[in-house]
Amino acid sequence: MAYQTFRQEYLQVPPVTRAYTTACVLTTAAVQLELITPFQLYFNPELIFKHFQIWRLITNYLFFGPVGFNFLFNMIFLYRYCRMLEEGSFRGRTADFVFMFLFGGLLMTLFGLFVNLVFLGQAFTIMLVYVWSRRNPYVRMNFFGLLIFQAPFLPWVLMGFSLLLGNSIIVDLLGIAVGHIYFFLEDVFPNQPGGGRLLRTPSVLKALFDTPEDDPNYNPLPEERPGGFAWGEGQRLGG
């Protein structure tokens, strides 16, 4: 019975979010079980381009460190905001969502060549949070019950929290920068005088991922509860 319930809930998660979070969990489990080591996963341009260890371009986005507070914190934010983007502004536009993943990952990888970062998954999470926060500017956030602020400030609050924990803010700044570039090119520039769409999802992605009809039994995650926990809970103003 429990298995059936879990399976049903798991299949309710939209496909991109389900695939990415599952890959992250399985990668972490494989490291915990010592089937692989982080040294086989991390971002290393020399090993990628000179020794053709191409898998590192993907695996460095899948490992968030050993199981602990930092891992759980990152996975909760990754799952929640990735799912809300996919069920919100990208609902029915799976190909566009996959294209955002590819564009953000490519840009982050290029920036990663110039900064000393070996795993980019946390920066990718911040990118997702940034895009969601800019597309939901009127959601009021409650962080640990201590701070109340508008959603667009969430990435900066997370950066401050990361700084308090003694982590490098380079990861957060990279995620914010890539998120802002995507948001500007996709949401801001096309609406400017003389602007236009510079980011266009390739037709091959649309053919692969877009479906003509929604599943009538699909149950989206309420966007009015962006964090789900005390550090990310929110509600729309006037609601």
pLDDT, tens digit (0-9, with 9 covering 90-100), for 43-73: 999 999 999 999 999 999 999 988 888 889 8
The mean pLDDT value of the chain amounts to 85
Report which listed range, 108-117, 140-149, 212-221, is most confident.
108-117
pLDDT band at 219 (very low <50, low <70, confident <90, very high): low
Share of the chain above pLDDT 90, in %: 58
Question: What's the mean pLDDT in 89-109?
Answer: 94
Q: At what angle do helices 121-135 and 94-112 cross, to 10 degrees?
A: 130
What's the pLDDT score for residue 216?
A: 55
User: pLDDT of 188-203, one tens digit each?
Assistant: 998 888 878 888 999 9
* Mean local confidence (pLDDT), 106-115: 92
Q: Which residue has the higher pLDDT, 133 or 141?
A: 133
Region 175-184: mean pLDDT is 96
Give mean pLDDT, residues 130-152: 88
pLDDT for position 7: 82
Give the whole-angstrom CA distance, residue 198 versus residue 195: 9
- Helix or strand or coil: residue 95? helix
* Domain boundaries, given as residue ranges, for the chain: 19-190
Beta carbons within 10 angstroms of residue 185's beta carbon = 15
Least Cα distance to 158 among 146, 145, 148, 143 occurs for 143
Query: Which of these, 141, 167, 144, lies nearest to 70 by C-alpha position?
Result: 167
- What CATH class has 19-190? mainly alpha
Looking at the predicted structure, is the pLDDT value of residue 20 above 60? yes
pTM: 0.85
Residue 124 has pLDDT above 90, yes or no: yes
pLDDT score recorded for residue 8? 84
Give strand pairing partners of 139: 236
What is residue 161's predicted lDDT score, i.e. its pLDDT?
84
User: Residue 208: which residues within 8 A CB-CB, separation 6 or more?
Assistant: 95
Residue 11: pLDDT band with limits 50, 70, 90? confident
The span from the CA of 10 to the CA of 97, in Å, is 19
pLDDT value for 225: 40
Please give the average per-residue pLDDT across 154-165, as a whole number.
88
Find all residues with CB under 8 Å of 34, minimum gap 6, and list them.
none
